[in-house]
Amino acid sequence: MFRLIFLLLIEAFCVVELAAQKASFLFEPNQNAANEFWKDWSVYAQANPQIPIQFSDGPLKDCSFDGFAFNGQPQFLCTCNNLDAAKTIGTQNLWLGGSLGLNLSGVGMNKLALWDGGSARQTHVEFGGRVVVIDTPSAVSGHTTAVVGNLMAAGLNPNVKGMSYQTQLQNWNFTNDNAEIIAAAPSLFLSNHSYVSVCGWTYIGSNLYWYGDSSLNMYRDYKYGFYNDRTRIWDSVMYQNPYYLMVKAAGNDRGLGVAPGSTHYYWNGSAWALTNTTRDSVGPYDCISTFGCAKNILTVGAINAMPNGYAGSSAVAVLSYSAWGPTDDGRIKPDLVAASGSILSTGTANDSAYSSLGGTSIASPNVTGSLLLLQEYFYQLKGRYMRNATLKGLAIHSANRCKNSPGPDYECGWGVPNMTRAAMCLKDSIRNTVLENSLANNDSFAIRVLIATGDSLRLTLAWTDPKGITTLPLYNDTTPKLVNDLDLRVLDSNLNIVAMPFVLNPASPASPATTGDNRRDNIEQIYSTSLSSGKYWVKVKHKGQLQNQNAQSYSLIISGAPLYAAALPVTWVSLNAKQESWNEASIYFTVSREMNNHHFEIEFSEDGTVFSEVGSIYKVAGNSNKINVYRFLHRLNHGFQNTSFYRIKQVDYDGNIAYSKVFELKASADWSYYLITPNPFTEQITVSMFSKNNSENTFKVYNMFGECVHNEKRNVFGLNAIMLNLYSLPNGMYILEITESNSTNKVYQTIVKE
């Protein structure tokens, strides 16, 4: 017991030390920046400004002062419009009654937030008290209420059911959002941001404004595609919080323009002045503004809804206003597109009101709420959560294409999310691989795959990149913002490169994707249907030196046609684990072909991350085209926990090794615990347990000094949910020990109070 605590203390110390080493180049200030913002807010509010500090342009467009630009021009954030269409991206198949039988709803996944132009109508019948407004603005916002409805409306009206319809949500006003995001990020999985920087043309009341800077470009606003301070901060926040993904609306600016010679206001360097200078319309390309161009976030554009589901690329219609990329340095934006148009969401007229909306604002929460369900499902499968790069990469990896040609484009990014396929990619661990690794400086990683005749191969590499460097405002600044340039390649058995990632040409933004060396994006994807049967290496490496020579975490997803990739020189038929007693399990695996196979090693993990060898099988066929069944008996010195994990390591005669997919053992003994939730917790935890006999169980909680700080006994008979009140404990990490009286059954679990 105390040895376990000592090891945890060592691990905690190493994490703290590493964080301190990184702080010098990763940390973004928060409190000082917040204080400066409120000073600017006060100055602007007292100056009797021409543009109000907060204003609305219609019932669903809320705007708020966002500080001063380098030239003194006041800046604003404004909401976009929004809509709901779960069927377009297949989310309904994950719900109760859906075709996958998963019954996902977001229940208990209370790490979802949004920043928007105001507060939602908390008392709406669709919210059921599940919306917590953190900083209440002056009025309820129709835009915010509609976006929240898309995220988590209960579905009392079936047409407005939210994507995660049983989750809770935290609601911030977007005023001074950066400081709030930095503070809240460690406790969040996902947040939605359906607002943009005011750029290009905008009406404020009856007055027309052009929001560019004539000293940089008289005709086009430099902020489209520009990597500014907010963009850098958002990238930094996600790098420092690897389980937090920000999802943002691409904006509705494409095509905005006025008749030549129209009278409008522009910023002359010190004040707003009237002019009739003719300026360009926005777009069609390079019209995603500033922080929508962040590397690590997921930026979402808008297409017409497809109520009957995706029906091929010819059915995808990008809406006329949805902003297109690229960024100024040529990166792919938007990342994905989702449904918009005119579909019901929650309204503000009363507690049962609904309203129809459109715009990229609703496409964004459509994706955000759906991704929360994938996190919920991954936890059910693995007992842990995906990194932000894994979640983003999975959404891109499983997306449906928007055009006939394969690969991404600057109009709709990587395509239309397919949440059904994403969930199947997680579920079918035989034919799909989801790896979370870390690449050390000057190192590389390789894994072998086996392609059968007729197979295709899809690989997606994703990583959360360190923040880019910001410069003084410049029109079309092409300076690369990618810091750590990772590379994905497929090599044949002679180590010749046979497949390269997709690349786009920002100098010709309408041209289809080709393949080559992607030096711009922190997403790389390879898709090949032309590889002949045989063994191939999938390799990940990096160019130059990683920043500060620190390791770079990355996620690699492998699948094929129609989601198939064999990762061993054997053909797997099945992988299974069966519990034989409270501390014994039989591992069965069946193969239909073996090539050059020397032996198998069985590896075990209690967390799905750290594996250790527990035995081996040397009596193998070696080379065979017959079906062979192998069995291994694994015995623990304690009972199995809720979910345990296994994988098979295969070793060739020539010393090459490869791994099977991870498969699970669900505890089914006479005594076991299944789940501890929530973890982290604030006041109490619930332990789901099973006991065949009516037995007394002791629940002890130890702090990191080995001191018992909580001790109580409970009887358990059948499946029980045991609630432990731990509100008096200070925040920190603890060890929960559960012991059954008059038996050797005992388990330990780390819990965290925050």
Q: What percentage of the chain exceeds 90 in pLDDT?
A: 56
Flag whether pLDDT at 457 surpasses 70.
yes
**Looking at the predicted structure, is the pLDDT value of residue 216 above 90?**
yes
Over 70: is that where the pLDDT of 82 sits? no
31-46+67-384+399-404, CATH topology level: Rossmann fold (3.40.50)
Partner residues linked to 196 by β-bridges: 78
pLDDT tens per residue, range 116-143: 999 999 999 999 999 999 987 668 999 9
From start to end of 663-707, where are the E strands? 663-666, 671-677, 684-702
Three-state DSSP class for 92? helix
CATH class for the region spanning 420-560: mainly beta
- How far apart are alpha carbons 489 and 397 in whole angstroms? 16
Q: What letter represents residue 479's amino acid?
A: T
Neighbours of 168 (CB within 10 A): 20
> Average pLDDT in the 589-601 region?
83
Res 748: pLDDT:
77
Return the domain boundaries, the chain.
Answer: 31-46+67-384+399-404, 420-560, 572-666, 671-753
* pLDDT for residue 562: 32
Q: What local confidence, expressed as pLDDT, does residue 137 receive? A: 67
DSSP-derived secondary structure for 192-254: EE-EEE--SEEEETTEEEE-S-TTT-SSS-TTBT---HHHHHHHHHHHHSTT-EEEEE--S-T
Nearest to 536 by CA among 494, 572, 591: 494
For the cut 60, the answer to whether the pLDDT of residue 563 exceeds it is no
Per-residue confidence (pLDDT) for residue 3, from 0 to 100: 31
**Domains 572-666 and 671-753 are alike in CATH topology:** yes
Q: Each residue of 165-193: pLDDT tens digit?
A: 999 999 999 999 999 999 999 999 999 99
695, 673, 693: which is closest to 746 by C-alpha? Answer: 673
Count of residues making up the chain = 754
Residue 520 φ then ψ, to 5°: -115, -40
Q: Is the pLDDT of residue 161 over 80?
A: yes
To 5 degrees, how large is the angle CA 668–CA 673–CA 675? 110
pLDDT of amino acid 4: 31
Name the most confidently modeled range: 14-28, 41-55, 558-572, 679-693. Answer: 41-55
Axis crossing angle, helix 360-382 with helix 388-397, rounded to the nearest 10: 110
Amino acid at 81: N
**Cα gap 405→517, rounded to integer Å:** 19
In the sheet that holds 445-451, the strands lie side by side as 445-451, 534-542, 486-491, 497-499
In this prediction, residue 33 carries a pLDDT of 56
Kindly report, residue by residue over 231-264, the tens digit of the pLDDT.
Answer: 999 999 999 999 999 999 999 999 999 999 999 9
CA-closest candidate to residue 224, choices 299, 297, 292, 295? 292
Assign 740 a pLDDT band (cuts: 50, 70, 90): confident
Arithmetic mean of pLDDT, 404-419: 96
Tell me the pLDDT band of 84, cut-offs 50, 70 and 90: very low
Q: What is the 3-state secondary structure (H, E, C) of 27-79?
A: CCCCHHHHHHHHHHHHHHHCCCCCCCCEEECCCCCEEEEEEECCCCCEEEEEE
How much is the pTM? 0.71
Q: Encoding tokens for residue 482? A: 């990618």
pLDDT of res. 123? 96
Q: What is the pLDDT of residues 656-678, one digit of tens each?
A: 677 788 888 887 667 776 568 88
Helix axis angle, 419-427 to 388-397, nearest 10°: 110
* Averaged pLDDT score across all residues of the chain: 86
Say what percent of the chain tops pLDDT 70: 89
Q: Which residue has the tokens 């579909």?
A: 343
Mean per-residue pLDDT, 720-747: 86
Mean pLDDT across 685-702: 85
> Which of these, 700, 690, 698, lies nearest to 669 by C-alpha position?
690
Cis peptide before 506 (omega within 30 of 0): no
Rounded to the nearest 5 degrees, what angle is found at the Cα of 452, between the Cα atoms of 449 and 454?
125
SS3 assignment, position 168: coil
Higher pLDDT, 494 or 592: 494
If you search the block for the tokens 């994706």, which residue do you land on?
A: 367
The correct CATH number of 671-753 out of 2.60.40.1930, 3.40.640.10, 3.20.20.80, 1.10.10.1100 is 2.60.40.1930
CA neighbor of 456 nearest in space, from 536, 560, 544: 560
Judged by DSSP in three states, 697 sits in: strand
> Which listed CATH number (2.60.120.260, 2.60.40.10, 3.40.50.150, 3.40.1190.20) goes with 572-666?
2.60.40.10
Identity (one letter) of the amino acid at 645? Answer: F
Whether the upstream peptide bond of residue 678 has omega within 30° of 0, thus cis, is yes
- The H-or-E segment that residue 184 falls in is helix 177-184
Give the per-residue pLDDT at 7: 27
The number of angstroms, rounded, from the C-alpha of 228 to the middle of its chain's C-alpha atoms is 22
pLDDT the model gives residue 713: 93
Q: Using pLDDT thresholds of 50, 70 and 90, give the confidence band for residue 8.
A: very low
